[in-house]
């Protein structure tokens, strides 16, 4: 009995948030929640050095890059550093077979050579405020969930309108802890962000998909951009005479390197975590959703890979798409393995049991949460059916171009409804222009192969009575003939036949579009999903959210002495930890850093993920590392630490105890990818690119050392 109790206690302690190193903290609450602990762990900064409403602080150097990544300002001329994989679509967009910046890298040798990137943004945080009380004004404990949502949304609109009135800022309010808290973010978004430099892929993507999400790692995953502003230092659309942005703050760069045990922190915009999930949700992710998505992506990737290897134009044109599909394919694989290995579902179940036990002193509360848990169970038993349908929709039916383009065409048709002929022509001309570009590198044979494979997987994966009727009719007409069905679709549909489609767009013919075979297929697919899946899915989602709101609120009350952090939701956070190796499995310990020697050991001229260009080999042979070498004489490349990060933290600055830049965050280790759902301090590590290697590549490899003159290097 005693033993059982001890085990239970261990599980509870293990699952409670905010163990050492775990947590993604809101910068404006650091003083209250973390400052003491950070100092105890070696941090030399005050909470105000990190975030301050009234004065310049580190937060003024942190950028949300392109909406989904992080970057840091490292010069007074708006120079920013992020990952190669974050700049990848911009780099690919400027590349062609003649100017292959993906393969060979790109470096602007002066400001006039920097490349513009329409659509790319750099967002800074001006201020963060807790607006929970305002959002909840006029609501009470008896307000129904539906009314609550409407009232809160109305308030949020007012708050945003108020704080953005008469200034050039934008703002948004996000719910935290499933709506127990609401936080306002006031932001400034720059729209002229130019590419300054990117290393060749053999550096920036060294190890490719094989090494992605893995340690030990030798990837030089960085690229550099510059933020431009108008003459008043304000955000502006691209203009030739825009000037480099003068930031309030830029980061100093430490040349000292790190050693095991050093304090580190990561400042950035983590995307999404779900640390408070109910056990059934973890079970669904681990046993259903992740495996389904992995299998669907694996198929698509293997086809893409084959065609991309055979044709250079295809390789470049589809590089960014391939990389993003592959990234999460591998992440989900690691996640499901990690969750299984650590017996996540049972750990959650034990935790939930203990939680209910702790409520025993208050029978009414105990009953209430027993009901909450029962509701979780019954909702998830339905939810997982819809989740599977949705996974097939996103990863399978929207995996080939006939469907993707038909969906875009539907938006186009809707956007011109009720418009004058002239405006209609304009919209269609715009679409024609972008499609003309698309068709230049479109690989129809590859797309058809994917379509056929996806249809087959759909037929095998989704029960007949749950299939889109129009698609199932094709299956009935032509049983098991997926190539044949694809031929029909791809011979007839305009969306995959350049002349037909451009013609329809030139004549602005809505009728032609609406009669298209793929258009009709898409329409019935979206109708089916809207009526039979999405509506139900979002309804259950809202019900689950209401349960989680109660559950997370009660957690903070039951475990009063614990500190709770909100799940990541693409808002600015601080996470801190220590430089530390780890034990991936029995008998093996991974060192905390890697060096150029290790990259050389991995070289394989016959595998394009592990090629090394001669110039790097020369530098290595001569040990020409200059001031970038470590005290031990080697060139350090990456290091691991216990910072709790996720996607969106890609490109985040990794800072030392004094707030100096020591590297750029770019990944996590394979054994710890389940940290979005369950963080384990023994095994979860973030991977940081040592800034000295970044500078070495810029200076010694690329010969763009002039950029270092803008930076503040601390020796």
Residues forming the site for ligand ASP (CB under 6 A):
85, 327, 645-647, 649-650, 666-668
Is 60 or 567 the residue whose CB approaches ligand ASP more closely? 567
Q: Which two tokens stand for residue 1?
A: 């009995």
Given 21, 192, 211, 221, the catalytic residue: 221
DSSP string, 157-181: HHHHHHHHTTSS-EEEEEEEGGGTE
Is 667 or 671 the residue whose CB approaches ligand ASP more closely? 667
Is 83 or 552 the residue whose CB approaches ligand ASP more closely? 83
Q: What angle do CA 344, 556, 353 make, to 5 degrees?
A: 40
Min CB(282)–ligand ASP separation in Å: 19
Q: Which two tokens stand for residue 42?
A: 């070696």
Is 289 or 526 the residue whose CB approaches ligand ASP more closely? 289
Q: Which two tokens stand for residue 633?
A: 């004489």
Rg (CA), the chain: 26
- Residue 171 phi/psi, 5-degree rounding, is -155, 155
Given 21, 57, 75, 85, the catalytic residue: 85
Is 21 or 280 the residue whose CB approaches ligand ASP more closely? 21
| Known catalytic residue at 85 | yes
Distances (CA, A) of 632 to 256, 511, 579, 625, 635: 12, 71, 17, 12, 9
Is 670 or 693 the residue whose CB approaches ligand ASP more closely? 670
| Known catalytic residue at 221 | yes
Min CB(228)–ligand ASP separation in Å: 26
Min CB(378)–ligand ASP separation in Å: 33
Which residue has the CB atom at the shortest distance from ligand ASP?
Answer: 647
Min CB(672)–ligand ASP separation in Å: 9
Cα–Cα distance, 424 to 416 (Å, whole number): 5
Is 190 or 666 the residue whose CB approaches ligand ASP more closely? 666
Cβ atoms of 690 and 662 within 8 Å: the answer is yes
Find tokens 């589809």 and name the residue: 318
Min CB(647)–ligand ASP separation in Å: 3
Own/partner contacts of 314-321, CB < 8 Å, gap of 24 or more, are 314/441, 314/443, 314/446, 316/92, 316/95, 316/96, 316/97, 316/100, 316/102, 316/441, 317/441, 317/442, 317/443, 318/441, 318/443, 318/446, 319/88, 319/92, 319/95, 319/102, 320/88, 320/89, 320/92, 320/93
Strand, coil or helix: 20? coil
Cα–Cα distance, 263 to 579 (Å, whole number): 7
- Residue 231 phi/psi, 5-degree rounding, is -65, -20
Min CB(711)–ligand ASP separation in Å: 24
Q: If we measure between CA atoms, which residue out of 459, 676, 448 comes closest to residue 575?
A: 676
Given 90, 650, 652, 675, the catalytic residue: 650
| Known catalytic residue at 254 | no
Active-site residues, by number, are 85, 221, 650
């Amino acid at each position: 009995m005693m033993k059982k109790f001890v085990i239970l206690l261990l599980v509870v302690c293990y699952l409670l948030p905010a163990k050492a190193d775990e947590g993604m903290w809101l910068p404006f609450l650091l003083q209250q929640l973390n400052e003491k602990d950070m100092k105890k762990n070696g941090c030399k900064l005050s909470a105000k050095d990190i975030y301050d409403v009234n004065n310049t602080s580190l937060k003024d150097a942190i950028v949300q890059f392109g909406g989904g990544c992080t970057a840091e300002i490292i010069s007074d001329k708006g120079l920013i550093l992020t990952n190669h994989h974050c700049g990848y679509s911009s780099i690919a967009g400027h590349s062609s077979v003649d100017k292959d910046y993906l393969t060979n890298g790109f470096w602007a040798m002066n400001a006039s050579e920097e490349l513009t990137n329409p659509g790319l943004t750099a967002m800074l945080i001006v201020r963060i405020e807790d607006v929970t009380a305002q959002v909840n004004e006029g609501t009470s404990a008896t307000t129904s969930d539906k009314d609550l949502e409407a009232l809160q949304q109305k308030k949020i609109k007012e708050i945003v309108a108020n704080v953005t009135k008469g200034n050039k800022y934008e703002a948004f309010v996000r719910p935290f802890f499933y709506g127990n808290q609401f936080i306002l973010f006031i932001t400034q978004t720059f729209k002229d962000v130019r590419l300054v430099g990117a290393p060749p892929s053999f550096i920036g993507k060294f190890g490719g998909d094989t090494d992605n999400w893995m340690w030990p790692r030798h990837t030089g995953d960085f690229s550099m951009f510059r933020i431009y502003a108008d003459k008043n230092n304000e955000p502006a659309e691209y203009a030739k005479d825009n000037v480099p942005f003068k930031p309030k703050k830029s980061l100093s760069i430490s040349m000292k390197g790190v050693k095991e045990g050093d304090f580190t922190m990561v400042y950035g915009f983590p995307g999404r975590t779900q640390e408070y999930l109910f056990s059934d949700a973890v079970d669904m992710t681990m046993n259903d959703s992740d495996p389904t998505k992995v299998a669907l992506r694996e198929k698509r990737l293997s086809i893409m890979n084959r065609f991309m290897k055979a044709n250079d134009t295809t390789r470049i044109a589809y590089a960014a798409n391939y990389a993003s599909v592959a990234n999460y394919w591998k992440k989900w694989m690691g996640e499901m393995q990690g969750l299984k290995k650590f017996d996540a579902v049972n750990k959650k179940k034990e935790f939930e049991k203990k939680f209910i036990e702790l409520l025993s002193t208050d029978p009414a509360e105990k009953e209430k949460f027993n009901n909450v848990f029962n509701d979780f169970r019954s909702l998830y038993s339905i939810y997982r059916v819809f989740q599977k349908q949705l996974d097939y929709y996103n990863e399978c039916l929207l995996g080939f171009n006939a469907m993707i383009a038909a969906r875009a065409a539907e938006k186009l048709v809707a956007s011109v409804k009720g418009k004058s002929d002239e405006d209609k022509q304009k919209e269609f001309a715009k679409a024609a222009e972008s499609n003309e570009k698309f068709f230049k590198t479109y690989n129809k044979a590859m797309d058809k192969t994917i379509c056929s494979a996806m249809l087959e997987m759909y037929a095998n994966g989704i029960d007949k009575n749950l299939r889109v009727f129009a698609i199932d009719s094709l299956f009935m007409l032509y049983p098991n003939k997926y190539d044949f069905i694809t031929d029909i679709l791809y011979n007839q549909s305009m969306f995959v036949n350049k002349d037909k489609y451009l013609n329809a767009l030139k004549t602005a013919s809505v009728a032609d579009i609406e009669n298209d075979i793929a258009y009709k297929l898409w329409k019935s697919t979206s109708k089916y999903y809207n009526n039979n899946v999405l509506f139900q899915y979002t309804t259950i989602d809202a019900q689950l959210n209401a349960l989680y709101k109660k559950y997370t609120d009660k957690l903070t009350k039951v475990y009063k002495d614990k500190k709770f952090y909100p799940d990541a939701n693409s808002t600015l956070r601080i996470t801190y930890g220590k430089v530390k190796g780890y034990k991936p499995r029995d008998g093996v310990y991974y060192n905390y850093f890697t060096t150029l020697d290790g990259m050389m050991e991995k070289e394989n001229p016959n595998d394009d993920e592990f090629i090394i260009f001669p110039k790097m080999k020369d530098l290595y042979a001569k040990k020409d590392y200059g001031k970038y070498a470590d005290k031990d004489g080697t060139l350090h490349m990456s290091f691991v630490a216990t910072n709790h990060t996720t996607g969106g933290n890609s490109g985040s600055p990794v800072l030392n105890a004094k707030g100096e830049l020591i590297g750029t965050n770019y990944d996590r280790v394979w054994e710890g990818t389940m940290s979005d759902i369950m963080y384990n301090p023994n095994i979860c590590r973030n991977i940081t690119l040592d800034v000295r290697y970044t500078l070495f590549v810029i200076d010694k490899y690329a010969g763009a050392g002039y950029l270092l003159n803008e930076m503040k290097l601390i020796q």
